[in-house]
Amino acid sequence: MHTYQTVDYVRKKHAQFGGFSCKKMTIMAAMDMLNNLVDESDPDVDFPNSFHAFQTAEGIRKAHPDKDWFHLVGLLHDLGKVLALWGEPQWAVVGDTFPVGCRPQASVVFCDSTFQDNPDLRDPRYSTEFGMYQPHCGLENVLMSWGHDEYLYQMMKFNKVSLPKEAFYMIRFHSFYPWHTGGDYRQLCSQQDLDMLPWVQEFNKFDLYTKCPDLPDVDKLRPYYQALVDKFCPGVLSW
């Protein structure tokens, strides 16, 4: 991931997938696809990703019973991992994300030992603290490493899903650990980014700490979440 995620690579992936012509399917059909995926980057789970989705959603539902949109984000936050079932290597789908186009910051995992073969770090346009960005340009103007977060965020925008702004931040940045946990990349943030950060951190608690070997009764839970899908992102979507 740290070798091949470059500005050029990410732009090519946006061009490849940005038309959302891979498949037409519902949210729940995508969820069923994740029954066939185990995330190789996650040391805490060795069961299909769909169970983790329901565990996350139920944790949020218990703590925030009044925020139904938040429950839904818990369910669908990893649906972009369908990319791994369409032939994309897991290094281009899962793992902690980071901005491309500027020098990686200290809290990027294994930062000092894994970027030496990334050509962008030898390119003066991309190898400084700000790289191709302006101070406080806002994360909406930052090119993130390509993976399931970015894909699902773009897919939700493309399909005009009616979730609140907080939900879109959670979807796009839940794997951006150097930002929401490491405290880095603040020099790129707008005030809106900083205002949204606590929501991403709140989501992260459930993404991380609801994983357990006791698997949820998906058939029992499904009708509640189907109703949320029907409310916020109904019908067949373009993927």
Residue whose pair of structure tokens reads 């944790």 in the numeric block = 59
Confidence (pLDDT) at 173: 98
What gap in Å lies between CA 140 and CA 191, rounded to an integer? 12
What gap in Å lies between CA 102 and CA 187, rounded to an integer? 12
Length reported for the chain: 239
174 appears as a binding residue in the annotation: yes
Whether the Cβ atoms of residue 4 and residue 89 lie closer than 8 Å to each other: no
| 237 strand-pairing partners | 25
Query: The pTM is what?
Result: 0.93
120 appears as a binding residue in the annotation: no
52 appears as a binding residue in the annotation: yes
| HEC readout, 189-237 | CCHHHHHHHHHHHHHHHHHHHCCCCCCCCHHHHHHHHHHHHHHHCCCCE
CB atoms within 10 A of CB 127: 17
What gap in Å lies between CA 237 and CA 27, rounded to an integer? 8
207 appears as a binding residue in the annotation: yes
77 appears as a binding residue in the annotation: yes
Domains in the chain, please, with CATH? 7-20+27-39+46-233 (1.10.3210)
Please give the helix or strand (H or E) that residue 25 lies within, else none.
Answer: strand 24-25
Residues of the chain with pLDDT under 70: 38-49, 209-213
Confidence (pLDDT) at 216: 78
CA-to-CA separations, 52 to 32, 47, 110, 191, 207, in angstroms, rounded? 12, 8, 26, 32, 8
Q: What are the tokens at 31?
A: 């969820």
pLDDT in tens, 15-71: 999 999 999 999 999 999 988 776 666 655 555 667 888 999 999 999 999 999 999
As a whole number of Å, the end-to-end CA separation of the chain is: 23
Residue whose pair of structure tokens reads 């491309």 in the numeric block = 100
Confidence (pLDDT) at 108: 97
Instruction: State the maximum Cα–Cα separation within the chain, in Å, rounded to a whole number.
Output: 55
